[in-house]
Amino acid sequence: MVTGVVLAVLLAIGLPSFNQFIVKNQIKASAEAVQNGVQLARGEAVRLNAKVRFTLGAGTSSSWSVNVDSGGALIQQSRASGEGGSASVTTTRTPANATQITFNGLGRVVTNTDTSATLTAVDVAVSGGPPNSTLRIQISSPGGQVRICDPSVTSTTDTRRCL
């Protein structure tokens, strides 16, 4: 009986930390999926020497697709929104109405063909998730480099810091 009580206490202490661990891993998986999609679009633009467009799903979705800009041939799309697992992963875009970014044959960011706003950052989080668990995918312009950073890091020497 004592063993059962000790086990129950240990579970009660450890379960919240384990849940936070799971949610943070789901956020990381979704952020990496979006980052990989953007990097795929840039790489395919260079490989094909053509404009290639990365489009993030509507609303707060983390689903995406990569298409050749002229003709719209599909190169690849994500499996589904919420690739990070069972948590409800949401995205916030910068600028707010942006859904796509286009790369030219040199891998540089160019104006979208439809002149819509160009995606420069995507924040990935879980509503009601642990504090400071948001990750940001930043896309530099005009170079097109893509990186994941942590917007909660304020130290100027920490490499996880968003610029």
Q: How many angstroms separate the CA atoms of 113 and 39, rounded? A: 19
In 14-162 the beta strands, taken as DSSP E runs, fall at 52-56, 64-68, 74-77, 89-94, 100-103, 109-110, 121-126, 135-139, 146-149
Retrieve residue 19's tokens.
Answer: 């849940």
The model carries a pTM of 0.81
Query: 148, 35 in Cβ contact below 8 A?
Result: yes
Q: Assign a CATH topology to domain 2-149.
A: minor pseudopilin epsh fold (3.55.40)
**How confident is the model at residue 52, as a pLDDT?**
95
- Reading the chain (163 residues) residue by residue, the pLDDT tens digits are 888 888 877 777 766 677 788 888 888 888 899 999 999 999 999 999 999 999 988 766 778 999 998 877 888 888 654 444 555 677 888 888 888 999 999 999 999 988 999 999 998 888 777 777 888 999 988 888 999 988 888 887 877 777 6
